[in-house]
Structure 1
Amino acid sequence: MDYRKLKSGNDIRGTAMGTNAVITVEFAEKLGSVFAYWLKTLENKDPVLACGHDSRLTSEALSKAFCRGAVKQGAQVLDFGLCTTPAVCQSVQRGKLPLSGAVMVTASHHPPDKNGFKLFTKHYGEISGAVLKEIFLLLNQPLTPSDKEGSVVNYNYLENYCQSLAELTRKLIKTDDLCPLLGLNVVIDASNGTGGFYAKLLEDLGADTTGSLFLEPDGHFPNHIPNPEDTEALQMVSKAVIENEADIGIIFDADCDRVAVVDSDGKAVNRNRLIALTAAILLDKTPGITIVTDSVTSSGLTKFIGEWGGVHYRYKRGYRNVIDEAIRLNKSGVDCPLAIETSGHAAFRENDFTNDGMYLATLLVCQTLHGKRNRKKLTEPLESLDEPVECNEKRFPITADDFRAKGLELIDRVMDDATEETDRFLAPDNREGVRINFNLEEELSNAWMLLRLSVHDPVVVLNMESDVEGGIAYMENHLRNLIIDMTGIDFSTL
């Protein structure tokens, strides 16, 4: 089997149910053996691993199979059971457990029939796509048998993780009180994933979580897909916030590394608004810092961060890309405490740049309490955020055999066109694909479009925003004329 097809960015992912399943217990056991073997060669000793899983119907069986495979290569395995991705990552990075690496069985926000694996080591954190390729090579090779089998021990790491969130809460509120969140009303939507315990944590800290939704783990995801960006999911949280007169609503994906928020008026705080709010909280205390984001953020966000005294650094899609760039910038001397994506992934320097939705949620919960005590709304800073009149995203499947070459051909064509005209020009400081600023209705840079290759799929993604009505139609028509003779890409949705 060509295991490379299972690579999705830095993750392993595929269909796990039905006759077309590729993420099977047999594959999981093999992967467990290979990962343990790879770590053993890296450290020259039998590894100690942690293993957690989300609420998907196949996750527990896949997790047990992975553990079996790791044990065959002499690994000692701590089985965390139902857990979150940030907790699994933290268990490796904090160093309080003698772990060589860890695995999280999850497919994040994807449908119930999908599943996959996220791999972590104490050396790399979440492993990169390049390191994942090394592991894939071993899947097709015979492994040297271990002299002895390892063992599996159940370990409830979520207790440690919850303790760290409770400590963070008291630190942010600057109190040692047992119930620092008294007087705060919070609605949690756990999406029937692994994050239901967060409501109990907030209750223990004094918050009222009446009206919270879908806290029980259920791999069918019967109420809505476990995606914080899903419109239906956000509407459900908004309704619950208004009905229960809550101060804030929070929604997680299945493994809790992504988050979105609803304010007390039921308005969504996600994408550019979530980045802007988080940036404002940090910049209010530390002006001059740099905020790293993905490439599809709005022009209004750049202006907002600048007005708050910060620097907006647009990078690439893919949360690992954003995090790695923030780490690189810090090493080069740039003060960069936050890497955040429009999808709701966020990683803070103070949290070891762990991709952690609950860390961000806790920051926003505490900020909401500060605001309530001072009769200020959480989203008050967003009143100065310029938001586009129109925005849209379209995805064009690449049908050519060499999808990367064909995608780059389109990007080059658009780039060449922009260098020849005066009413559109290449956006400055662009680091992914091609981003074109348009001057519409005799105004400067009041619309833009970004063409880029998808991180995961053979697809070209088109993002557009306009500050004037009809701007998107204008840009679409312009692109249509540019690609009229182009083959190998399905532009039927344009």
Structure 2
Amino acid sequence: MTQPAAEIFKAYDIRGIVDKSLTVETVRGIGQALGSEALARGQKAIVIGRDGRLSGPAFAAALAEGITAAGIDVIDIGCVATPITYFAAYHLDTHSCVSITGSHNPPDYNGLKMVLGGQTLYGNMIQDLRRRIIENDFAHGAGKISHTDVRQAYIERILADVKLARPLKIVLDSGNGVAGNTAPELYKRLGCELVELFSEVDGNFPNHHPDPSKPENLEDVIAALKSSDAELGLAFDGDGDRLGVVTKDGEIIYPDRQLMLFAADVLSRVPGGQIIYDVKCTRNLAPWIRQHGGEPVMWNTGHALVKAKLKETGAPLAGEMSGHMFFKERWYGFDDGLYTGVRLLEILSRSPDANAILKALPNAVSTPELNIKMQEGEPAQLVAKLQALKFDGEAERITIDGLRVEFADGFGLARSSNTTPVVVLRFEADNAAALERIQAVFREAISAAWPGLTLPF
């Protein structure tokens, strides 16, 4: 086969533009490389699930063809949210799975999130698949393909464990992503009354982009909360592994504040537990975790990296600012937006006023994630230059993932994205004046390190 495009092999998944960098032929080659690696690891079968993107069926067929050509069986579970694919690896006892998903990327993207023998592939493991394709280092065999549906098993597993103290009326926005074919049934059976938005799975995403981390994509939820008597709004990303939360009065509860609520709840049953969070999260999180009897652990951004840390530490809970939440307590430790929403409602249903609980969580003045667009390879160079600078008023610096500079009254973060050629920035402070000062310090540093960049702040 022709050599696959190097840029599709990302830090923790494979992702590219359909029919350009990511073709059916490439996916078949990845399938055979993955099947060969599975065989080397003593695996016997791989579950395949796909999100609602238009290229999904063709890619699923090509992937299955490649995997079975290496002598590994395939269990195709159809069009389901990524976390349901992860669940199927446990439920069907394969411990290996691939979700064909473009996540929250534009409609012309697709990709693969891969787990072998319970380990999420990332970094060199993903590069090794590329090496296998280039060197034609494939196993050969004749695996079988079977089809099954695990959605009901997934719903039943959740309903057996989670109970609401009272019924809730919520706005549920699936954004025409794949969560739409499972979330409404799950939440209704949990005891919720729904105001449903865009539950129809449509890979064109005709209503808004399915990325709840961007405030503009939650405008429909905010409008529905205004015009109905629903108490709360939940929104999912394109493949259902991330959650957005909106209060009755339209305030977005960002994932680092959601994590506070989950941490307090989990620590009430797992005293002394470690709670893992990524470098983009609020500085209010560590004192909150300590106050509730837990141990805060700051870590790199990236679902695969967080999952690896979760496994290493045995922590009961982890979360990322992007909206990935990982419950090990009572669940499997993979990121699951549908399950996260259920756990949120379980906590909030114990109170007569769900919104009061959310709004009482510690808050700070902060920016959403800001991006500086650059050329491939340049973001890492810029971050390295920033790491070499001293910042005015700097109290502490954290370099586990990019550069997070802590000040007495806030922080600034610059890190290189692992998925697209951008520098990710985030700022937080005790008040607006401090935020402006910290941003000015970073503006000056970035302009000195890389003159002529257009900055988003």
1:193 and 1:226 in contact (8 A); partners too: yes
What's 2:29 paired with? 30
Confirm whether residue 78 of structure 1 aligns to residue 57 of structure 2.
no
Q: Which structure 2 residue ranges, 5 or more long, are not aligned? A: none
Confirm whether residue 275 of structure 1 aligns to residue 259 of structure 2.
yes
Distance 1:391 1:203, change over 3 A: closer
What's 1:104 paired with? 99
What's 1:113 paired with? 108
Confirm whether residue 258 of structure 1 aligns to residue 257 of structure 2.
no
1:80 and 1:241 mapped to 2: Cα distance? 34
Post-superposition shift, 1:425? 2.1
The amino acid across from 2:128 in the alignment is: E
1:182 and 1:205 in contact (8 A); partners too: no
Identity %: 25
1:190 and 1:342 mapped to 2: Cα distance? 20
What's 2:405 paired with? 436
What's 1:178 paired with? none
1:120 and 1:381 mapped to 2: Cα distance? 34
Q: Deviations over 1:162-202 (max 9, x none)?
A: 121221224xx5xxxxxxx8733232111111112221122
1:169 to 158, 162, 165: 162
1:36 and 1:182 mapped to 2: Cα distance? 47
Distance 1:144 1:446, change over 3 A: closer
1:268 is paired with a residue whose SS is coil
Confirm whether residue 329 of structure 1 aligns to residue 298 of structure 2.
no
Q: TM-score, normalised by structure 2?
A: 0.90
Alignment of 1:48-447 (within 5 A): 48-92=45-89, 94=90, 96-99=91-94, 101-124=96-119, 126-143=120-137, 146-147=140-141, 149-170=142-163, 173=164, 183-196=167-180, 197-209=182-194, 211-330=195-314, 336-350=315-329, 351-371=331-351, 375-377=352-354, 379-380=356-357, 382-388=359-365, 390-391=366-367, 393-398=369-374, 404-413=380-389, 417-418=390-391, 423-427=393-397, 431-438=400-407, 445-447=408-410
Distance 1:488 1:136, change over 3 A: farther
Post-superposition shift, 1:310? 3.2
1:231 and 1:166 mapped to 2: Cα distance? 31
> Which of the two has higher C-alpha Rg?
1
2:36 and 2:70 in contact (8 A); partners too: yes
Distance 1:298 1:61, change over 3 A: same
2:414 and 2:425 in contact (8 A); partners too: yes
The amino acid across from 1:478 in the alignment is: V
The amino acid across from 1:40 in the alignment is: L
Distance 1:348 1:58, change over 3 A: same
1:291 and 1:313 in contact (8 A); partners too: yes
Post-superposition shift, 1:51? 0.9
2:432 is paired with a residue whose SS is coil
Post-superposition shift, 1:426? 1.6
Post-superposition shift, 1:480? 4.1
What's 1:471 paired with? 434
2:76 and 2:129 mapped to 1: Cα distance? 22
What's 1:460 paired with? 423
Confirm whether residue 449 of structure 1 aligns to residue 412 of structure 2.
yes
Q: How many residues align?
A: 453
Distance 1:15 1:104, change over 3 A: same
Q: TM-score, normalised by structure 1?
A: 0.84
Distance 1:446 1:435, change over 3 A: same
2:450 and 2:369 mapped to 1: Cα distance? 21
> Quick check: 304-313 or 65-74, which moved more?
304-313
Distance 1:144 1:192, change over 3 A: closer
Post-superposition shift, 1:301? 2.9
Distance 1:219 1:312, change over 3 A: same
1:259 and 1:344 in contact (8 A); partners too: yes
1:39 and 1:100 in contact (8 A); partners too: no
1:314 and 1:403 mapped to 2: Cα distance? 22
The amino acid across from 1:115 in the alignment is: N
2:38 and 2:72 in contact (8 A); partners too: no
Post-superposition shift, 1:477? 3.2
1:220 is paired with a residue whose SS is coil
Q: Which structure 1 residue ranges, 5 or more long, are not aligned? A: 174-180, 331-335, 439-444
1:142 and 1:486 mapped to 2: Cα distance? 43
2:286 and 2:47 mapped to 1: Cα distance? 40
1:492 and 1:247 mapped to 2: Cα distance? 37
1:200 and 1:482 mapped to 2: Cα distance? 50
Q: Deviations over 1:328-355 (max 9, x none)?
A: 223xxxxx31110111101111222111
1:461 and 1:205 mapped to 2: Cα distance? 37
